[in-house]
Amino acid sequence: MDIAAGRMDERPGTSRLGIAGWMLFDWAAQPFFTVITTFIFAPYFVSRLTADPAQGQAVWGYTLTAAGIVIALLSPVLGAIADATGPRKPWIAFFAAVKIASLALLWYAAPGSSLIYAALLLALATVAAEFSIVFNDSTMTRLVSEREVGRISNIAWGLGYLGGMIVLIAVVVLVASDPQTGKTVLGLDPLFGLDPAKGEDARITGPISAIWYLIFILPMFFFTPDAIRATMTMAEAAARGLEELRGTLSELKERAGILRFLIARMIFQDGVNGLLALGGTFAAGMFGWQTMELGVYGIILNIVAIAGCLVASWLDPHLGSKKIVVASLVCLTIATLGIVSTGPGFTLFGLAPLPSTDSGGLFGTAAEKAYIAYGLLVGIAFGPVQASSRSYLARSVSPDEAGRYFGLYALSGRATSFLAPASVATVTLLTGSARIGMVALVAFLALGLVLLLRTPYPAHRPT
């Protein structure tokens, strides 16, 4: 499909302020994934909101499953409707309102309260966050040339990790306290007098993420150009959008490369999503990490992730998005094997025994240090694997069809997203072992990698 590459190079450039506004969307959105679904609130949900960590991990896994099914079913439909209506910003605004309200209400998820209440809010916030990403990602093809999409995608992703890390540092330094002393790492009382015994150190991350998102999403609305509004009603746009979606699905039969890319991405992204969502809860249950340890671990990973995205932003235009994604998947597969092979007193499934003595302080045992070492590999790779996948598709479609294809892209990231958390949750319940449950993630990453190796780049080229 030569038209895709040609049209991307011919479109007029966007102002630097417009591109900066688009990149700040990731800066605004990432704290939700950093402090809510990965390092702070999700581990709190699993290990402190309920007295049974195995039950908590199972409910968390099924929450992600339910949200994933909704996202998978509706993302391509909404993407196609957006192509028909034109502007993306009204859609982003609506889902931003849902996300902000859901996050703010997490403050009331106190220990001993209903798991269903917190799970419902988390599911709503997750669905709203992912739908917003569909519409924001689909504008990328209109902003810069084909060569530049990999660079701005990785820089934006790196900015997202920086934003997430800043919020995470604020939580760790100003809010999280040592259960023994009641003081933060700076030796201060927690900000606002928050009481860790009531889970307030974790619960506050909901309102903080909501406020951060509200403030920093505004530059995208003010400065980033939107598509021209189509001259049709919403009902007409919905009908046309659904018709175009059916046409796109039929069209995929002739665009085998894009179809293969979407299938490969569907499988490996499931593993990535599961690793990001469950890695922190796994560590919390295995080592008993509290908000402070989880926060410091998250800061370490985010520092490495920022560096990984910056390096990938330079390599992507030279090596191409496919090589970046392949290298990242290799790192993630190795890291996941390392993580699930590690427990108190051992790593590599017991082939490498480790001293069980605790030297005191943060991450005092050798097993915890090994876990962090594997986590560094995750940090290096989980930004580039997603950012360069985004630019992989952007190089393969034209701007006029970007909405529906990025809707399918979101579908490919969510169509089987319920399988990884559901597999982990179910195996965990059946075996009583979170470690055995986590092994399932390796299969998703490895199979997706194998399929991607046989996919053309860009994906519109003949297979």
Across residues 231-236, what is the average pLDDT? 63
Across residues 232-242, what is the average pLDDT? 65
Q: What does the pLDDT read at residue 4?
A: 35
Q: What does the pLDDT read at residue 170?
A: 85
Task: Label residue 106 by pLDDT band (50, 70, 90).
Answer: very high
> What digits encode the pLDDT tens for the residues 119-131?
999 999 999 998 8
Of 208, 167, 221, 157, whose CA–CA distance to 26 is shortest? Answer: 157
Residue 186 Cα distances to 34, 170, 293, 297, angstroms: 22, 12, 14, 17
Does the structure show a pLDDT above 90 at 94?
yes
| 55 vs 332, residue with greater confidence | 332
Spatial contact of 130 and 410, defined as CB atoms under 8 Å apart: yes
Across residues 112-120, what is the average pLDDT? 86
Does the structure show a pLDDT above 60 at 7?
no
Per-residue buried b or exposed e for 183-192, using 16+ beta carbons within 10 Å of the residue's own CB: ebeeeeebbe
| 148 vs 384, residue with greater confidence | 384
The verdict on residue 59 lying in a domain is yes
Task: Label residue 242 by pLDDT band (50, 70, 90).
Answer: low
- For residue 385, give both structure tokens: 């694997």
Strand partners, 347: 352
Amino acid in position 6: G
Does the structure show a pLDDT above 50 at 406?
yes
The verdict on residue 115 lying in a domain is yes
Q: What does the pLDDT read at residue 6?
A: 34
The verdict on residue 419 lying in a domain is yes
Q: What does the pLDDT read at residue 436?
A: 72
- For residue 407, give both structure tokens: 């809707």
Across residues 16-31, what is the average pLDDT? 88
The strand ranges marked E within 236-350 are 346-347
Does the structure show a pLDDT above 50 at 263?
yes
The verdict on residue 296 lying in a domain is yes
Domain of 25, CATH number, reads: 1.20.1250.20
Range of the domain at 67: 2-453
CA distance linking residue 358 with residue 366, whole number of Å = 8
Q: Is 347 helix (H, G, I), strand (E, B) or coil?
A: strand
Q: What does the pLDDT read at residue 241?
A: 62
DSSP secondary structure of 210-266:
HHHHHHHTHHHHHHS--PPPPSS-HHHHHHHHHHHHHHHHHHTTT-HHHHHHHHHHH
The verdict on residue 288 lying in a domain is yes
What are phi and psi for residue 346, nearest 5 degrees? -160, 165
Cis peptide before 179 (omega within 30 of 0): no
Spatial contact of 435 and 340, defined as CB atoms under 8 Å apart: yes
Does the structure show a pLDDT above 60 at 463?
no
**Chain-wide mean pLDDT for the chain?**
78
Across residues 396-411, what is the average pLDDT? 70
Task: Label residue 5 by pLDDT band (50, 70, 90).
Answer: very low
Does the structure show a pLDDT above 60 at 8?
no
| 309 vs 105, residue with greater confidence | 105
Q: Is 182 helix (H, G, I), strand (E, B) or coil?
A: coil
| 20 vs 461, residue with greater confidence | 20
Task: Label residue 207 by pLDDT band (50, 70, 90).
Answer: very high
Q: What does the pLDDT read at residue 181?
A: 62
HSE-CB at 334 with a 13 A cutoff on CA atoms is 13
Q: What does the pLDDT read at residue 105?
A: 95
CA distance linking residue 151 with residue 319, whole number of Å = 12
Q: What is the CA angle 267-339-292, rounded to 5?
A: 110
Does the structure show a pLDDT above 70 at 211?
yes
Across residues 327-339, what is the average pLDDT? 88
CA distance linking residue 198 with residue 48, whole number of Å = 9
Sign of CA dihedral 14, 306, 29, 188: negative
Q: What does the pLDDT read at residue 309?
A: 80
| 193 vs 178, residue with greater confidence | 193
Q: Is 193 left (phi over 0), alpha (psi -120 to 50) or beta?
A: left
Q: What does the pLDDT read at residue 360?
A: 67
The verdict on residue 196 lying in a domain is yes
Hey, which of 167-181, 221-235, 299-313, 413-427 has the most confident mean pLDDT?
299-313
- For residue 319, give both structure tokens: 């090596």
The verdict on residue 461 lying in a domain is no
The verdict on residue 462 lying in a domain is no
Q: Domain tally for the chain? A: 1
